[in-house]
């Protein structure tokens, strides 16, 4: 049986990886890869906040199924994993109001990051992901790959990629619940794992252990620049193949009860 990792050890690992004190970090995590750690998911959250310090801001996705009226104070996450689910419920944590693509944040910039945003695109420049980018934040992947990174969808939105889909989401219109079709970039995430290669080649990604998970840390701006402008980013500028679109549609159909889109599939 694996030895339980203490909160102090997690903090040491996070700092060694390069988490900046006083910075902004957007975290995607599969706790099943990190554990066992002291105090479980709450211990991991505590370690992240200690590593960031009182001047730092911690951000996590808290996306929902979008099939019912969203209440940021009560609606549970869908496929985000136990760490994000525990995080948004902690005292002092702010949660954004998007009916399907909410985020939660804690720290000095939390309210700015979680302020109201347009319904579409959910991960565009005027969204929590876009604001993490604007604040020169970092993206931390714990036990997951870049197919989980919503920041790559920000890059797609900024590049104005020609592929897009719509998905239904329940929103309140004049106090009445209605189902609207919201446009967003294709969430099949085909090829996102290729980011590892060009980030490593450019020395832009730091990797190491956090708990028992393999962790990746990259500056959000570097990730977006590479995805938009580098040679490795070219697949994001053209329509995805028809079979990839089909996979994306099937994945979105599975989302309501199973994994499928970037930022989901946490445990």
Tens digits of per-residue pLDDT, 122-147?
Answer: 999 999 999 999 999 999 999 999 98
Distances (CA, A) of 162 to 20, 152, 156, 235: 35, 15, 9, 11
In a domain, residue 2? The reply is no
Given this model, what pLDDT does residue 194 score?
80
What pTM, to 2 d.p., does this model score? Answer: 0.85
pLDDT of residue 266: 55
197 lies in a domain?
A: yes
User: Does residue 136 sit within a domain?
Assistant: yes
Domain that holds residue 71: 7-255
The verdict on residue 1 lying in a domain is no
Q: What is the pLDDT of residue 182?
A: 87
d(CA 197, CA 255) in angstroms, rounded, equals 28
Separation between Cα atoms, residue 95 and residue 128, nearest integer Å: 10
Low-confidence ranges of the chain (pLDDT < 70): 186-190, 227-267
Q: What is the mean pLDDT of the chain?
A: 85
Work out how many domains the chain is built from and give that number. 1
Indicate whether 265 belongs to any domain: no
Residue 240 within any structural domain of the chain: yes
Residue 266 lies in a domain: no
Distance, C-alpha 242 to centroid of its chain: 26
Exposed / middle / buried, residue 187 (Cβ in 10 Å: 0-12, 13-18, 19+): buried
Question: What b-and-e string marks burial along 211-228, b requiring 16 or more CB atoms within 10 Å of the CB?
Answer: bebebbbbbbbbbbbbbb
């Amino acid at each position: 049986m694996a030895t339980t990792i203490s909160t102090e050890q997690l903090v040491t690992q996070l700092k060694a990886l390069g988490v900046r004190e006083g910075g902004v970090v957007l975290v995607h995590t599969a706790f099943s890869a990190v554990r066992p750690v002291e105090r479980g998911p709450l211990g991991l959250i505590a370690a992240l906040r200690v590593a960031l310090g009182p001047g730092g801001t911690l951000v996590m996705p808290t996306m929902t199924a979008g099939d019912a009226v969203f209440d940021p104070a009560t609606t549970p996450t869908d496929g985000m994993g136990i760490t994000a689910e525990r995080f948004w419920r902690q005292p002092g944590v702010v949660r954004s109001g998007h009916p399907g693509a909410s985020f939660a944040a804690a720290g000095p910039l939390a309210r700015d990051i979680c302020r109201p945003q347009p319904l579409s695109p959910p991960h565009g420049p005027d969204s929590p992901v876009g604001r993490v980018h604007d604040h020169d934040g970092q993206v931390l992947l714990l036990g997951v790959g870049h197919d989980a990174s919503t920041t790559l969808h920000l890059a797609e939105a900024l590049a104005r990629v020609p592929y897009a889909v719509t998905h239904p989401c329940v929103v309140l219109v004049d106090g009445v619940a209605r189902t609207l079709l919201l446009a967003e970039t294709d969430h099949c995430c085909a090829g996102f794992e290729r980011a590892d290669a060009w980030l490593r080649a450019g020395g832009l990604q730091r990797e190491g252990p956090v708990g028992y998970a393999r962790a990746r840390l990259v500056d959000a701006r570097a990730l977006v620049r590479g995805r938009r402008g580098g040679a490795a980013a070219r697949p994001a500028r053209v329509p995805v193949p028809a079979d990839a679109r089909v996979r994306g549609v099937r994945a979105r159909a599975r989302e309501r009860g199973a994994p499928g889109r970037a930022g989901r599939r946490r445990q």
